[in-house]
Amino acid sequence: MHCLALAAPGTLDLVAAECRDLGLPVTIVDADGVHLNLEWKQVARALVHLRIATRLLLHLANHTADNGDSLYRAAQRIDWAEWLTTKSTFAVYATGDTVPAGVGADGKRHAGLVDLRFVGLRVKDAIADEMTRRFGQRPDVDRDDPVVALVLRGRQGRWGFYLDLCDPPLAMRGVCEVKGPAPLRENVAAAVVDLSGWTGSGRLLDPMCGSGTLVVEAACKALGIAPGCTRTFACERWPQHGKALRKWLDAERGAAVERARKAIAESRLDIAASDVDPHAVAATRANLDNAGLADVVKVEIRDARELPPQPAGTVVVTNPPYGERIGGDGVDNLYRGLGHAWRDKGIERAYVLSGADSFAGAFGWQQVGRHHLNNGGLDVELLALRP
């Protein structure tokens, strides 16, 4: 089966690498994502273990369409009875490129597909009409909690039809449930940890931990705790294939949970987190406890500008205020204070997720690398810094 692992901006190569590390057969890596050729057992492995990918989609077909009628006919060529019953709710979500009106390759003028909402509605109608024609009844639409979610991805007039295997996204692990005012998405946090190169040796410190997402992801990666080992996935509810997939998922999740319990019990990691805000520290502790990591990560209330000496070789990984959602006008003063306070404290390097152009200059450390990412719609940079 052809599957597609989606990647957030700046993480495509990381997603491809994690797929290969999991032994998943990668066929192509392109602008759409990481293309995989998987069996059901490998689908379960991917869903349970992928950290940085945002979603995993099952490819059904590709069709070219430049107007509503041709798109309708294309959708009806797919055998929806393999995935739906008349009692299954479904929804269609259209993304990607629209098609402007103009003259097609056949020399005829076409109306285009200029509204993705119309694209989704036209495909929804095609599916409902085809199921009615075959079975005398149409399935209901439920955009909030569909049993089967179809994702339509457009690129220059070519439409890929996919089923969402995960829904909600893979980033929603069901662990970091307590969020702060500027939450860091779990898949972005996993990418930051990966880019830092920290694998569990030496101290990792987040002195502005917020709700603790970075330290949770760091501990889980270092201990080999599968991000999806305690959550469910959309494909388990599918009427035709859900039972078989649930069998594979239960086996994968069960083995992952046992490995996690053993790894946590034997953990010797040195991870520390702190924040000046008592509410943030409480949120971090709650999320660590929910993840079973309360005894793995040391957490305290502390102003990041009052950092005590750290073990030699400490790696800082943190997400400071950007001045967008929190931070205010004094954010540059905060950056200068941090750069001064962290010198000569045993920190070997710092990986700082920055959404402010002024950060590097105000912080004052040597920049040795940068990586562009996106967090919740904000373009950010992961800066690698040395004192």
Contact (CB, 8 A) for 184 and 70? no
- The mean predicted confidence, pLDDT, of the chain is 92
Question: Quick check: 348 pLDDT over 90?
Answer: yes
Could you tell me if 18 and 50 are in contact, meaning their C-beta atoms sit under 8 angstroms apart? yes
What lies within 8 Å, CB to CB, of 110 at 6+ separation is 66, 67, 70, 99, 101, 102, 103, 104
- pTM here? 0.92
Please write the tens of the pLDDT for every residue from 82-132: 999 999 999 999 999 888 877 665 667 777 888 899 999 999 999 999 999
**pLDDT computed for residue 350 by the predictor:** 97
Task: Give the chain's domains with CATH numbers.
Answer: 2-164 (3.30.2130.30), 186-224+268-386 (3.40.50.150)
Concatenated DSSP letters for 182-195?
A: SPPPHHHHHHHHHH
pLDDT at 180: 63
pLDDT at 154 over 60: yes
| Section 148-156 average pLDDT | 94
% residues pLDDT > 90 (the chain): 83
Place of tokens 């204070």: 337
Residue burial 215-241, b: 16+ Cβ < 10 Å; e: rest: bbbbbbbbbebbbbbbbebbbbbbbeb
User: Could you tell me the strand order of the sheet in which 55-64 lies?
Assistant: 26-30, 33-37, 2-6, 55-64, 158-164, 148-155, 90-96
Condensed to tens digits (0 to 9), the pLDDT of residues 191-244 reads 999 999 999 999 999 999 999 999 999 999 999 999 999 999 999 999 999 999
Is the CB of residue 99 less than 8 Å from the CB of residue 157?
yes
Band of pLDDT at residue 49, cut at 50, 70 and 90:
very high
pLDDT at 326 over 60: no
Tokens 């996935």 label which residue?
Answer: 233
Instruction: Kindly report, residue by residue over 301-322, the tens digit of the pLDDT.
Output: 999 999 999 999 999 999 998 6
Q: Residue 327: which pLDDT band, with cuts at 50, 70 and 90? A: very low
Give, as one character, the DSSP assignment of residue 247: H
Q: Which amino acid appears at position 192 of this protein? A: V
